[in-house]
Amino acid sequence: MTSNATLHILPPAAGRDLAAAEDAAATFLEALGVDLTSESLRETPRRMAHGYAELFTPRAFDLTTFPNDENYDELVLIRNVPLRSVCEHHLLPFVGTVHIGYLPGERIIGLSKLARVAEHFACRPQLQERLTKQIADWLDEQLHPRGVGVVIEAEHSCMTLRGVQSLGSATVTSTLLGALREDPRSRQEFFSLAGVNS
């Protein structure tokens, strides 16, 4: 990403058959004893298929970067970016916020792109740990910053609404790379500005 200022990021190409998904949703619901004959439920298999397809389709975006002409070398951090994904074990949503920071090298990134990168990796069946690491690794590879930090705080509905029913519990994950991992002062500053107790 040092030569090209803009890179077009496409959603992952997935073999998708919405008609088959709709049929499968109808079979699934009927197997669970749901009567699909009423007017309000008749379209539910279609809504389910389209709903999950939507959750699994990130928006394409341009990764725009700029030269760091001012040699800005302090932390850039965007915090409290809303995040929603789907846990790959139960296909139930997990919802929360992500904080993303980096220590610039030769280039800086358009701020909105940090949120778009998070959305890009969140729109698929996920594990919170993997999602955290994918965002950090991708920024590291594309931007070559001196350090990257990503923290996700999320509530997993598979843990709060069903199963153990730990209402209000939050899961916190972090990935730190480069100077944000190695240098205690930078690490501390990142967690402090992100509003996370380290």
Ligand X SMILES: Nc1nc2c(ncn2[C@@H]2O[C@H](COP(=O)(O)OP(=O)(O)OP(=O)(O)O)[C@@H](O)[C@H]2O)c(=O)[nH]1
Give catalytic status of residue 144 as yes or no: no
The Cα 121–Cα 111 span in angstroms is: 17
Number of residues that bind ligand X (CB under 6 A): 10
Instruction: Identify the residue among 13, 19, 164, 167 touching ligand X (CB under 6 A).
Output: 164
Pairing of strands 93-103, 61-67: unpaired
Region for 178 from its dihedrals, namely left if φ exceeds 0, alpha if ψ lies in -120 to 50, beta otherwise: left
Q: Which of residues 41-70 bind ligand X (CB under 6 A)?
A: none
Instruction: Identify the residue among 23, 43, 73, 129 touching ligand X (CB under 6 A).
Output: 129
Among residues 30, 43, 88, 182, the one annotated as catalytic is 88
- Residue 160 φ/ψ, nearest 5 degrees: -105, -40
152 near ligand X, judged by CB under 6 A: no
Token pair 């959750």: residue:
55
Site string for Zn ion, 87-106 (x = CB under 5 A): x-xx----------------
84 near ligand X, judged by CB under 6 A: no
3-state class of 120 per DSSP? helix
Residues making up the binding site for Zn(2+): 87, 90, 158
